[in-house]
């Protein structure tokens, strides 16, 4: 049996705008044992970004941010069509919570989103392009946007712009704006909603790519572009690796503690 390509799947699903459900045809094809394949890319199909957001919000409360984004997307495919998605050890993704084991490094939502993109992007170049868009959207957007229909914690939720993909910076920024603590139930609810936003954006970006309609809308800031002209690949110094916003750490008087 000829294996299905990504575009075949899109065609088979017979998806019109606003229609996101799998057709039974696709389910049968994918559920066959021959469809099992560890090699990438795995087949992606159109998912409703709002359903991904709803599921990510719930999944966050089961396994935190990285798990929430990953499970809300790949978990839908594990239900239908089934394999190879359902053999994935989803619980592994709990490791990314709080910037990996509470270290505050990369936001777990983004770590999960990048892993999802890593599963489905057709090439490494495509994966980098889509990840850039997801990460730059996160840096520049006032989050969380998502409002759950049945919130675990019904509060007026303050938004903040992180200017960083790092959990530590993102959390501190939100604490400053909101006046809430970093370990309170309000912050937990904030991260659940942010997880929903990140899952939704990941689906939208992948969907755009699958349809050949992806166009990145978030670019490097002028400040970061200027820094990179000296420090990044090909620059006079070429002593720095990264795409993160430079201004989160290297400007505004630096990060010196005020008492020192």
* Binding residues for a second copy, total number by CB under 8 A: 71
CB of 62 to a second copy, least distance (A): 12
Beta carbon nearer to a second copy, 130 or 196 = 130
* Residue 177 found at the interface with a second copy (CB under 8 A): no
Rounded to the nearest 5°, which phi and psi values hold at 236? -60, -40
Backbone Cα Rg of the chain: 19
Stretch that binds a second copy, among 21-29, 44-52, 92-100, 150-158 (CB under 8 A): 92-100
Q: How far is the CB of 182 from a second copy (least distance, A)?
A: 5
C-beta of 43 vs 54, nearer to a second copy: 43
CB of 161 to a second copy, least distance (A): 17
| C-alpha closest to that of 183 among 105, 104, 70, 258 | 104
In the complex with a second copy, which residue's Cβ is closer, 8 or 243?
243
Contact code string over 51-90 relative to a second copy, x by CB under 8 A: ---------------------------------x-xxxxx
- Cβ 152 to a second copy, closest distance in Å? 19
Contact 21, 53 (CB under 8 A): no
Site for a second copy in 219-258 (CB under 8 A): 227, 232-234, 238-244, 249-251, 253-257
Q: Taking CB under 8 A as the rule, does residue 36 contact a second copy?
A: yes
**Choice between 20 and 88, CB closer to a second copy:** 88
Pick 28 or 238: Cβ nearer a second copy: 238
2 binds a second copy (CB under 8 A): no
Binding a second copy (rule: CB under 8 A), the pick from 35, 73, 110, 157 is 110
CB-count burial class (<10 Å; 0-12, 13-18, 19+) for 107: buried
The binding track of 125-164 with respect to a second copy, each residue x by CB under 8 A or -, is --xx--xx--x-----------------------------
Q: How far is the CA of 1 from the CAs of 4, 30, 32, 33, 34, in angstroms?
A: 9, 12, 11, 11, 8
CA 35, chain centre distance (Å): 26
How many CB atoms sit inside 10 A of residue 142's CB? 11
Binding of a second copy at residue 192 (CB under 8 A)? Answer: no
């Amino acid at each position: 049996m000829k294996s299905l390509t990504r575009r075949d799947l899109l065609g088979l699903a017979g998806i019109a705008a606003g229609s996101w459900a799998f057709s039974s045809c696709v389910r049968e094809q994918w559920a066959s044992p021959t469809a099992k394949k560890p090699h990438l890319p795995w087949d992606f199909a159109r998912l409703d970004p709002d359903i991904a957001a709803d599921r990510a919000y719930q999944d966050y409360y089961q396994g935190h941010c990285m798990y929430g984004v990953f499970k809300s997307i790949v978990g839908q495919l594990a239900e239908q069509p089934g394999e190879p998605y359902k053999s994935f050890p989803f619980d592994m993704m709990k490791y990314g919570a709080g910037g990996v084991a509470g270290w505050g490094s990369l936001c777990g939502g983004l770590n999960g989103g990048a892993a999802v993109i890593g599963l489905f992007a057709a090439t490494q170049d495509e994966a980098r392009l889509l990840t850039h868009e997801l990460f730059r959207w996160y840096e520049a957007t006032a989050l969380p946007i998502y409002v759950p229909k049945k919130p675990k914690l019904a509060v007026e939720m303050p938004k903040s712009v992180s200017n960083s993909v790092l959990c530590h910076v993102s959390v501190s920024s939100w604490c400053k704006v909101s006046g809430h603590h970093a370990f309170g139930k309000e912050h937990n609810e904030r991260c659940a909603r942010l997880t929903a936003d990140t899952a939704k954006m990941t689906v939208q970006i992948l969907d755009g790519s699958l349809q050949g309609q992806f166009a990145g809308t978030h670019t490097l800031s002028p400040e970061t572009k200027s820094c990179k002209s000296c420090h990044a690949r090909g620059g006079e110094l070429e002593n720095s690796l990264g795409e993160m916003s430079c201004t989160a750490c290297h400007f505004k008087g630096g990060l010196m503690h005020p008492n020192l």
